[in-house]
Amino acid sequence: MTTITTFAAWVTGSCISSELIGYWLHRLMHSGAIQFLSRSHMKHHLVLYGPRQNQRSAHYHDATDRRLSLGNIGAEWLIPAAVFLGLTLAIFHFFHVRWFYQAVYLISTLSWSFLMFSYLHDAMHIRGIWLEKNRWLKNWFAGTRRRHDIHHCRINSRGLMDTNFGIGLFIFDRLFGTLCEVRPRFNAHAFNVARERFKSVWH
């Protein structure tokens, strides 16, 4: 395998692994299993951009609200990501992976994660963002934004938002059966169950 091919494989693998970890972390936040991880994220979903609210605003409404964050990336993302990266780099060290490829992995992972789970996610909620008008990206963006809107509006009987956990790509939603293409009607009962399940987000 040539150096260029190996480099491309590391970059591609890093982006895919970032997407997979982001998918499962996003699902975990919505499960309510770890309250600390769910709180800021569910404030975003139930208070700032809830099912009955407009999903677009002139500026992105940040849910971190004076909590630990890096920009508008909250600790619910930062802490699990740091643990995962630390474990991964420890494994690389154990298997004597070259420093160059460790650096490629780290840079690619952080870049992809920021692009998808920070920048693109926020763009979903900003009215008039440049992606709406770009001749090459506007159709793709409209489709991803529609799926993200469904993610914000569909609540099951247990009060959980359980579909479309991807942001720009929905590969793992397709693979794990969480993809939804149809926006449901507002379910008042399910919303009230969600409010009770995640009542700490209003405090």
Q: In the 8-state DSSP scheme, what is residue 25?
A: H
Chain centroid to CA 127: 19
What sign for the dihedral angle of Cα 123, 124, 125, 128? positive
- Which residues, 6 or more positions from 142, have their beta carbon under 8 angstroms from its beta carbon? 132
CA gap 180, 161 in Å, rounded = 11
Query: pLDDT tens across 171-200, in order?
Result: 999 999 999 999 989 999 999 999 999 988
Query: pLDDT tens across 83-98, in order?
Result: 998 999 999 999 999 9
**Per-residue model confidence (pLDDT) at position 59:** 93
H or E, element range at 69: strand 69-70
- Which residues, 6 or more positions from 54, have their beta carbon under 8 angstroms from its beta carbon? none
Query: pLDDT tens across 42-86, in order?
Result: 999 999 999 999 999 999 988 776 666 666 777 778 888 889 989
**Per-residue model confidence (pLDDT) at position 144:** 97
| Average model confidence (pLDDT) across the chain | 91
**Per-residue model confidence (pLDDT) at position 132:** 95
**Per-residue model confidence (pLDDT) at position 69:** 61
CA gap 77, 81 in Å, rounded = 6
**Per-residue model confidence (pLDDT) at position 198:** 92
CA gap 165, 49 in Å, rounded = 16
What sign for the dihedral angle of Cα 137, 171, 86, 9? negative
Query: pLDDT tens across 2-12, in order?
Result: 788 999 999 99
Band of residue 1 on the pLDDT scale cut at 50, 70, 90: low
